[in-house]
A and B are shown apart, each in its own frame.
Chain A
Amino acid sequence: MNNRKVFSLLVLVVALTMIATSCAPPPAAPVITTQIVKETVVVPGEAEVQIKEVVKTVVVEPTKASLGEGGIKVIPFLTNESDPESVAVFQEIFSEFSEQNPDTTIDLVIGGHGDIGQRVVAAASVGADLGVITVPPRDMQSFIQAGYLMPLDDVVEAIGADQFKPAALLRGEDGHVYAIAYAGGVQGTMWAREDLLAEAGLEPPTTYEELLAAAKALTQDTDGDGNIDIYGIGLPVGSDGATDARFTNFLFQNCGDYFDKQGNLVFNKPQVLEAVKRYVELVKSAPPDVTGWSWFDGLDAFLSGKIAMHPYGGRLGVRLETANPDMRANTKVIMLPAGDKTKAVQAGNDYLSVFNGTMYPEEAKKFLEFFFTGDRLARFELTVPGHLIPPTNDLAETILNSDNEYVTKYKDDVQTLFDVASSGADPTVMMGSVDTETCEFNPTYNPMPWSSEIFARSPTIDAEMLQRIVVNGEDPEAAWTWAYTEMERIANEWKAANPDWQPMAP
């Protein structure tokens, strides 16, 4: 064999080795962490020995040789919290954890707001490790069903379950906790320019009629050139969750809901049409591009002084304080008055879970316990004060009484945000919060298993319904009929595929 061939063969071996290495599974293949095993149980007082099937957590530690460089265990932490302050606090907490656990490092991975679910699905398909993950509530039941998440009962036991608000601990049908809320978000609050309201001789609105009147009055051509310079309200009619999160407030406050506690469609009740009409009427006082708005477009419009009122969570106030403190001083947050039948708004939680295929499940859970104890969660919530709603009442008190500069300066606004959030429900995990017969608001943990198909599609069903009216000029009743027919079809298809399903609510 000549030298050229020998060299070529060497190159070939190197190339094949590289391919083999890149295709190989990660070191220490993911372990099955929960197993159903048969166990011999001696029942006290009975002579017979029973063999029972019990769920056991089995953890197989990887060998030292399979660990990363220097024997360090790396746990990815996938989140969509991308505010620079939040990222800085995360990094601080990760360092503190590593100081106490020198063999473990937490690796921050930031995902887009809407693509965390896709990442989880992709990672599960290829066996990648995701470690600790932020999970969208609407996908939670599908994730549990698919086995992507690990039971966290031991973590909850360690940090204390009693202190959490309703739906802050997400359970599967098997009763195990799979996700723990670290922060909530409220969509039923509205920021209003008090200076502009005062100029128009108006008070911050407390009823829908006052809101409509204010939105009309504040839509103004200030320089007299025939073009509107400031719009009364920024209300999105875009394709994504930013629209349906705002619409849900109108739905709830007009005694409507999507499904009742048993999973029967109630979106076809006449009061829902009233909610639709109210939303559409307000959009007439909104900028012309709201049909393309997502989450941050309204915030930007408010910050640039182009809209006078905008339903948004606490982040708007924090951003405004940085961008324009004078405008912030003239801005107040109130509960969005979208109807008078019941006091209820859209408010949901963001959750942390542990990916079932993670390489170091015990360390991941240990980190969760670390994150939820001490002052760490409070420090995180204070990175965007008032926007990140604490999952426990004690923590809310801690934040309100903290010496944080923003909280001290705008304590009333932060209190309002927390108060409004306490009248909130997320329809994806609190199905049937509003009794459409009595208008009673009674949110309980009751996941809507088909919520992903209703709220994750693009456009979401209620966003498409609103766009049909606003963009296409379709009759509201026709668009609403299309929407509830579509919701019913999706729910019926899911129920047909899962005939044994029973709602979690009693």
Chain B
Amino acid sequence: MFRISLGKRRGGLLFAYLMLAPAFIMLIALNIYPFLTAFFSSFFRIHTITRESTWVGLVNFQTLLQSKLFWQSFGRSLIWTIVGVSVQLVLGIAIALLLNQELRGRWLARGIVLFPYLVPAIVATLVWRFMFSPLTGVINYLLVDVLNLIDRPIAWLADPDTALFGVLIVGIWKFVPFMVILFLARLQTTPLELYDAAKIDGASSWQEFWYITLPWLQPTILVALLLRTLWMFNEFDVTYLMAYGGPLYATTTLPVLIRNTAFGSNDMGRAAAISMLMVSVLFAISFVYLRYYQRAEEQLSN
């Protein structure tokens, strides 16, 4: 009797492992193998084109930690991520609240608001580059000729003082819809009786938002923050295509620095080392977010 059940259990386990195999193989091929390759590459000096490699130990990391360019790029990545995600969060909640109202044509508005997220980055950046142009761009035309807010056109993407700001505007425009979708979905599941009860108690609209809507959104906010933080920190196409990292490194974030190191300086080992440092930062951020997420879930269930 015991033998039969043990045999059955083994068979069941084997079957379970077999079922897990495809996902596990994909995980190894698409995640673990590239990660380990990058990890080991970071200890070598590797010429990108010829693939000649030399073991250098921790030299790549030492060089990076002493590099002004690395720390400046890291700082820009933080600004790009923190400012970008914060503004996306505020705008995302605001637009989701608006689209959650019983307004005429809201279905159309919900479709239109998704548009920036659907446009390929190359198309969006080309259009925005035209719009930012101080010679022919519509933004300068509006600011100088229509609204008279400034005296002369601003070279948004060509001035180190404004370039990152210009790129941030595009990043925010492109990724706000993601926040809107998440928050709108969550808002549509809000128990309406909570609002009825609040109304009976004489709560103002602000109090309804603060004490009902925001706590209800909290787990989604944390998920959105986690995902957008990871994606913004890793974001390459918008930052690169808008200004190619320039002028003079003014828009060089860590992913752009990785590209330039790997394919510009032909130093794949050092590029891998930068990616390893980025991964460490993202692990730390994810850890903090996930702890907060657990707490928020517990609070909500209580």
Q: A227 and B153 in contact (CB under 8 A), knowing A240-B244, A467-B246?
A: yes
Q: Which of B257-288 contact A (CB under 8 A)?
A: 259-260, 263-266
Per DSSP, are chain A's interface residues mostly helix, strand or loop, or mixed?
A: helix
A464 in contact (CB, < 8 A): yes
B266-A472 in contact (CB<8A)? no
A289-B49 in contact (CB<8A)? no
B90 in contact (CB, < 8 A): no
B116 in contact (CB, < 8 A): no
Q: Which residues of B contact A457 (CB under 8 A)?
A: 260, 264-265
Checking B15, B22, B29, B156 against A15 with a beta-carbon cut-off of 8 angstroms, the contacting residue is B22
Q: A292 and B49 in contact (CB under 8 A), knowing A227-B144, A239-B247, A452-B266?
A: no
Complex CA distance for A111 and B245, rounded to whole angstroms: 21
B65 in contact (CB, < 8 A): no
Checking A8, A301, A453 against B135 with a beta-carbon cut-off of 8 angstroms, the contacting residue is A301
Question: Please, how many residues of chain B have a CB less than 8 angstroms from a CB on the other chain?
Answer: 41
Q: A291 and B151 in contact (CB under 8 A), knowing A142-B49, A238-B246?
A: no
Checking B136, B156, B245, B266 against A304 with a beta-carbon cut-off of 8 angstroms, the contacting residue is B136
A288-B264 in contact (CB<8A)? no
Interface residues on A, range: 35 or more
B223 in contact (CB, < 8 A): no
A143-B49 in contact (CB<8A)? yes
A471-B18 in contact (CB<8A)? no
Closest to A294 in B: B244
B78 in contact (CB, < 8 A): no
Interface centre among A9, A121, A139, A240, by most chain B C-beta atoms within 10 angstroms, is A121
Would you give the 0/1 interface string for B157-196, flagging 1 where the beta carbon is closer than 8 Å to chain A?
1111001000000000000000000000000000000000
B237 CB, nearest partner CB in chain A, Å: 12
Q: A287 and B135 in contact (CB under 8 A), knowing A5-B15, A146-B49?
A: yes
Q: Which residues of A contact B260 (CB under 8 A)?
A: 457-458
A16 in contact (CB, < 8 A): yes
Q: Which residues of B contact A148 (CB under 8 A)?
A: 49
User: 8 more A-B contacts (CB under 8 A) besides A456-B263, A459-B248?
Assistant: A117-B49, A121-B49, A142-B47, A148-B49, A239-B244, A289-B134, A292-B163, A453-B265
Chain A interface residues (CB < 8 Å from chain B): 5, 8-9, 12, 15-16, 19, 23, 117-118, 121, 125, 139, 142-143, 145-146, 148, 226-227, 237-240, 287-294, 300-301, 304, 306, 452-453, 456-459, 464, 467-468, 471-472
Name 20 A/B residue pairs within 8 A (Cβ), A-sorted: A8-B15, A8-B19, A19-B22, A19-B26, A139-B49, A238-B247, A288-B134, A289-B157, A291-B155, A291-B246, A293-B158, A300-B136, A301-B135, A304-B136, A457-B260, A458-B244, A458-B259, A458-B264, A459-B246, A471-B159
Q: What 6 pairs between A and B have smallest CB-CB spacing? A: A292-B158, A457-B264, A289-B158, A289-B155, A239-B246, A142-B49
